[in-house]
Chain A
Amino acid sequence: MESLTTTVGTTRRTAGATRTGAPAVRPDRRPAASTRWAAFAFIAPLIAYLLVFYAYPLYRNIDLSLHDYTPRAFVQGNAAWVGLKNYTDIVASTTFSKAALNTAAFVLISIVFQYAIGLALAVFFRTSFRLNGVLRGMFLVPWLLPLIVSGSSWAWMLNSDNGIVNSVLRTFGVTPINWLTSPHWVLWSVIIANIWLGIPFNLVILYSGLQNIPGELYEAAALDGANGRQQFRRITFPLLRPVSAVTILLGLIYTLKVVDIIWIMTKGGPGDASTTFATWSYREAFGTGQPDFSPAAAVGNLLIVIALVFGFVYLHLQRRQES
């Protein structure tokens, strides 16, 4: 009931905003009432869609995090209002600092390597050669595989006792590593798997970005005696900057939210050793015998805020670049 009134209220406000915007387009005369209704009808599905699928879930998530939703309260709908207690609890939790460090390391290292490898491959595939398309297609495989398949495969390959990675290490006389069960290595393992997963995305976007750089620039540079490295530094990299910014920003947001690959490979363990904010939130809500929706929502909202900050940083940079 509460949600319905909110939805209606927001509709009116959004609709109002649209109406005030309309005259600016046609300042010469007031649109006929029927046209205005038609205009509203056109925009209405979009507004309804935004409200139902974006505004309401977000509102609900905030609502969850400000109440104490025990399973009983969840069913009976009488959760106690606790204000910011869920937030102070998660910050005070011993998992918090561990998850914060893990999230930072997971995101930054993943992004740096995904971008660097993706860019190197994009530049490599820019020159046309035999089998270019086939090879490029093969690099997309990680993207096409269901995550449950690639996650399980990585877990299986990195298994301490029966994994192929350790058996290769053993063949070369290197001491096997407990990839998924040692607290020192486990974060690296999930990062490596995640880098592998993220390369195709970076490759595709950067490759299409490269297509937009005119070939004449390279010809001119070659005539001026610029070598390959100089061409990359002076032409490719600067002209690719807008595309790079989008790629990295999207990558940041995707990587912040990663749950599946970590959950499939390690469940965030051993202990908290590979727990990030995203897996922590998932574990609180769905990983134990008793769902804890409120702290889970609090951690989730924290993630949204972090993603928003990156979004604003991007907007700021873009605006500065334009002006």
Chain B
Amino acid sequence: MRISTHRRALGALGIAVTVASLAACSSSAGTAGGATASAAGGSKTYTWWDPYPQHDASSSWAKRVQSCGDAAGVTVQRTAYDTTALTNQALLAAQEGTAPDVILLDNPAVSTLADTGMLTTTDEFGLDTSKIDPNLLAAGQMNGKTYGIPIGANTLALYYNKTILDAAGIDPTSIKDWDSLTAALQKVKAAGHKGITFAGIGTEEGSFQFLPWFWGAGAKLTQLDSPEATSALQLWTDWVKQGLAPNSVIQNSQNTTWEEFLTGDFAFGENGTWQVDAAKKAKFPTGVITIPAKTGGAAPAPTGGEFIEMPVQKDTKRYATTKKIVDCMTSTDGMVQTATTFAYYIPPTADGQQALLAKDSSLQPWVDAVKAAKGRTSDNLGTKYPKISEQLWTAVQNALSGSATPADALKAAQQKAAAATK
């Protein structure tokens, strides 16, 4: 008798567990995620995703985000993902109808997400983008519509080690084109130092670092195997072959490259605006020059940086508050605050740039570089860019590692890119 009662009880428990788990499954499809769950109750919590996992909850960036929530009278719940993971998470959330209220999105990913229809336009939100530098806004524009606003921009330049250049008798201002740069590298090597380090890793970072040379030769992303493109890849390959750049550049990320430069052995390191503060703290004096184009002048470097995006919500009443948060991030004062919080992020408006320069005039070369920079998805590439970029970094890897000549590597890349973007 006791046993059968037990059995019945256990059986009931089994049913209960099953029902509960099924209920959990069905509800996860409909209402998981902060945004939708809180939408119905007119909650005061707004969700925010960004690609800065290095800034934790106690960081000044987290406080900056929260201050914009405070200004709008709501709590901002911030979640940080790695850049690539953020795109995937956003797609998944959009599919489930649980997109966050705000996403800070790496600029080349904007066109991919905009194309899915998950982002609102700045017109729908009544946001004014007329003051934003057109070269920076371009990454967010598709078919005449603008998706989001850049909250700041960064780009690449060449940091140099002043001690090494002085010892080798090189004047950094004399570096005007590829020939003078290569000559400087040879001089540095002859003096017993290492020449230059950059990131040739097989990810988007590899393409990002190669683009100033690619564009600086006059090449276009629509034709990866042009003679101009080949000359750019030949330049990098020759540097590695001649020992002017270390072999490890093939697997270097931008962080690793920076660590190499900080060892003090390298004369030059290609890196971005975000290292300005770190460069000041280096054990040796540093300086910055713009990356030279093949025949002289500054090469167009790719723009880096995030756009603030407002994903489509079921409850459109949320937009009014979201707009307040966006306004707080994109006002001139807000952009300058973001710029200094991130040390450094160049504001995308003339007013913002002036205000930042008034605080720190040494950022002038970076402001110039950002103004001359070019969006990776511009030239109407949009969603085709990620496909082309994948082939570009593969070609860089193949050429630098000696699997193929630069010409052959780029030829294969062009064939694959053309097939993938048909």
Contacts and interface: CB of A to CB of B under 8 A. Distances in A.
B181 to A, nearest CB: 21
Contact of A291 (B7, B25, B87, B397): B87
A267 B201 contact: yes
A174 B22 CA distance: 63
A55 to B, nearest CB: 13
A288 B115 contact: no
A271 B397 contact: yes
Interface stretch (B34-42, B219-227, B246-254, B267-275): B246-254
A305 interface: no
Contact of A161 (B248, B389, B404): B248
B34 to A, nearest CB: 19
Contacts of B412: 94
A306 interface: no
Interface in B64-88: 84-85, 87-88
A288 B390 contact: yes
A228 interface: no
A287 B95 CA distance: 20
B385 A289 contact: yes
Contacts of B260: 162
Contacts of B331: none
A181 B398 contact: no
B251 A271 contact: no
Contacts of A162: 248, 260
Contact of A75 (B85, B118, B204, B409): B118
A43 B364 CA distance: 70
A71 B91 contact: yes
A288 B112 CA distance: 12
A271 B398 contact: yes
Interface string B107-128: 0110011011110000000000
A266 interface: yes
B31 to A, nearest CB: 16
A71 B113 contact: yes
B112 A269 contact: no
Given A271-B394, A287-B84, A41 B12 contact: yes
B350 interface: no
Interface stretch (B13-21, B209-217, B286-294, B298-306): B13-21
Given A181-B248, A269-B250, A48 B402 contact: no
Contacts of A160: 246-248
Contacts of A34: 8
A41 B251 contact: no
A42 interface: yes
A270 B398 contact: yes
B180 interface: no
B204 A288 contact: yes
A74 B184 CA distance: 50
A300 to B, nearest CB: 15
A261 B214 CA distance: 32
| Contact residues on B (Cβ < 8 Å of other chain), bracket | 35 or more
A218 B203 CA distance: 56
B297 interface: no
Contacts of A155: 251
A81 interface: no
Contact of B402 (A161, A183, A272, A290): A183
B387 A48 contact: no
Contacts of A267: 201-203, 251
Nearest to B99: A75
A289 B250 CA distance: 19
A44 B84 CA distance: 39
Nearest to A266: B251
Interface in A38-54: 38, 41-42, 44-45, 48-49, 52
A290 B412 CA distance: 20
Contact of B202 (A37, A38, A268): A268
A289 B204 contact: yes
B316 to A, nearest CB: 18
Q: Which of A71, A74, A287 has the most CB of B within 10 A?
A: A71
A120 B264 CA distance: 46
B386 interface: yes
A37 B397 contact: no
B400 interface: yes
Given A37-B11, A271-B401, A288-B386, A76 B21 contact: no
A190 B124 CA distance: 51
Interface of A: 4, 34, 37-38, 41-42, 44-45, 48-49, 52, 71-72, 74-77, 94, 155, 159-162, 178, 180-183, 266-273, 285-291
17 contacts: A44-B15, A45-B14, A45-B18, A72-B117, A75-B118, A94-B412, A160-B247, A181-B251, A182-B401, A267-B201, A269-B202, A270-B400, A271-B397, A289-B109, A291-B87, A291-B88, A291-B91
Interface of B: 7-8, 10-12, 14-15, 17-18, 21-22, 25-26, 84-85, 87-88, 91, 94-95, 108-109, 112-113, 115-118, 201-204, 246-248, 250-251, 260, 383, 385-387, 389-390, 394, 397-398, 400-404, 409, 412, 416
Given A267-B202, A291-B87, 8 more contacts: A42-B11, A72-B115, A159-B248, A269-B202, A271-B398, A289-B108, A289-B385, A290-B112
